[in-house]
A and B are shown apart, each in its own frame.
Chain A
Amino acid sequence: MTLTLEKSSHSTLTLTVNGEKHSFMLGEGPHEVASSHTLAHTLRERLGLTGTKISCDNGACGCCTVLINGKAVQSCMLLTVECEEKEITTIEGLGDPVTNVIDPLQQSFIDHTAFQCGFCTPGIIMSAKALLNENPSPTRDEVKEALSGNFCRCISHYHVLDAVMAAAKKGGNQ
């Protein structure tokens, strides 16, 4: 890179989301990604992946949680242009793309009615997924800690804990 560039140091962007590559021009047009766009915005408004929710848009609620290289992060606090060359996984990427069967963790949330309005659920599932990837047999306290960055205003936390523990017991992360 030279120091003579007047503006941004790049003009195109390739994102890998749920295993698929998407290329964008950088700019302010309707199909372009601006340097100031957050990943949450790009996922929803450019890729139509509206499973990722934006609630506080300030990194405090966890609704926009996605996985980057397997780790849970808040996509509202990341610039899209800084997510190149990373594996991004959203809630839409959890199921089996061939059979359309949802992830056992998602099924466990349904089985335990681990949500009420459901707005925070994708974020909670992604945080739980990151935990189970790293620690397939967590204790209840470890689940609490891993989900401490996700808020649910319907107070479904207890059912969520049951759902994640049950999924872990079943080896739901396989």
Chain B
Amino acid sequence: MKLFAHVNAYSVDETIKLLAKYEGTAKLNAGGTDLLGVLKNRILPNYPEVIINIKSIPGLNTIEEDEEGINIGTLTTLADIIASPVIEKNYSLLKEAAGTVASPQIRNIATIGGNLCQDTRCWYYRYPDEVGGMIKCFRKGGKTCPAVSGENQYHAIMGAKKCFAVCPSDTAIALIALGATLTIAGAEGTRTLPVEEFYTPLGSVLNSGEMIAAIYIPKPSSVAGQRFLKFTLRKPIDFAIVSVASIITHDQGVCFDARIVLGAVAPTPVRALKAEEFLKGKELSEEIAAEAAGLAMAEAKPLSKNAYKLEIAKTLVKRLVMGLT
């Protein structure tokens, strides 16, 4: 890797001051399992001059529960989330999602904050600089998205306009289904934001002077069924072709509340609002599940090589709904 200066930060305030001091030339490093790949392949037009290690900040890797919900520190590793009895009991959706991420070794160091902030896996965006030069796609300030007329089998099937890369985070869709909010620290203090509003078509609303400090999840109803499904080509160390997360509450087979979120189908996680609305008050059956799946994907417009993702997404939504009846 090309050289950079390395600084340990010891508090959130200090991190924010350091980010301001280096004016966009610094990158934060938590687990590093995504960032190091970005740096090794030099995929970004501007290589960071400074890496700020935030693992040195004490107290950001805790899981605290109260009666209303849980607060998860941004540095909590995915392995710690999976091993947490509290999360297993009341927030199993997050445990399931975290358990599908990468490999045991990666989950031992990768953090929840980092999983939310990871960069996209689009192979044009990630094309290594040492193999003929990095690709200046739309996401990097270029004019076009090479995926549109190129190899787009893993790209967006809905919601994309200029860049067709998808948001790869599995925990993001689980957190959106759970209605989680983020505490974001910045120069003007902290702000809270639903995870649902965190992502934008070209990344996230996090600006270069901010960091996620914590994630808060309100306690879901104990009768709500939580499910997570992820379709990959191989089980470990793979990113989702499509992933889905849902919380569906029903009484004797009649659904009265549903939240369904899809991942890896669009540049941002997608709430299937129409399907959610449709399911309310319906008796859950195979036909209803199929109809909900169709509504969830109603706005899909696949590219030349990824229409198959549409069928996978529909099948996963159907399984989510059926699995809970």
Q: State the A residues within 8 Å of B (CB).
A: 1, 3, 5-10, 28, 34-38, 57-60, 62, 65, 68, 71-74, 76-79, 81-82, 127, 145-146, 148-150
Contact = CB atoms under 8 A, between A and B. Distances in A.
Contacts of B235: 148
B253 interface: no
Contacts of B55: 82
B21 interface: yes
A82 B236 CA distance: 26
Interface in B4-45: 4-8, 10, 14, 17-18, 21, 29, 31-33, 36-37, 39-40
B33 A59 contact: yes
A8 B237 contact: no
B5 A148 contact: no
A148 B51 contact: no
Contacts of B109: 73-74, 77-78
B85 interface: no
Contacts of B6: 8-10, 35-36, 79, 81
A74 B106 contact: yes
Interface in B54-73: 55
A72 B243 CA distance: 27
Contacts of A81: 6, 53
B79 interface: yes
Contact of B14 (A3, A73, A79, A127): A3
Nearest to B52: A9
B2 interface: yes
Interface residues of B, number: 35
Given A3-B21, A34-B3, A149 B106 contact: yes
B104 interface: yes
Interface of B: 1-8, 10, 14, 17-18, 21, 29, 31-33, 36-37, 39-40, 51, 53, 55, 79, 102-106, 108-109, 235-237
B163 to A, nearest CB: 23
Contacts of B2: 36
Given A9-B7, A78-B109, A81-B6, A72 B36 contact: no
Nearest to A65: B105
Contact of B8 (A10, A37, A72): A10
A7 B5 contact: yes
A53 B36 CA distance: 18
A59 B53 contact: no
Contact of B79 (A6, A8, A59, A71): A71
A5 B105 contact: no
B5 A8 contact: yes
A77 B36 contact: yes
Contacts of A35: 3-6, 51
7 contacts: A38-B36, A59-B37, A72-B108, A73-B109, A74-B103, A81-B53, A148-B235
B108 A60 contact: no
Contacts of B39: 36
Nearest to A4: B21
A82 B53 contact: yes
B40 A58 contact: yes
B5 A127 contact: no
Contacts of B4: 35-36
Nearest to A27: B3
Given A38-B1, A77-B36, A82-B32, A149 B103 contact: yes
A1 B37 contact: no
A60 B1 contact: no
A3 B206 CA distance: 23
Given A77-B32, A149-B237, A59 B7 contact: no
A73 B53 contact: no
B105 A3 contact: no
Contact of A8 (B7, B105, B106): B7
A8 B104 CA distance: 31
Given A36-B1, A79-B32, A72 B7 contact: no
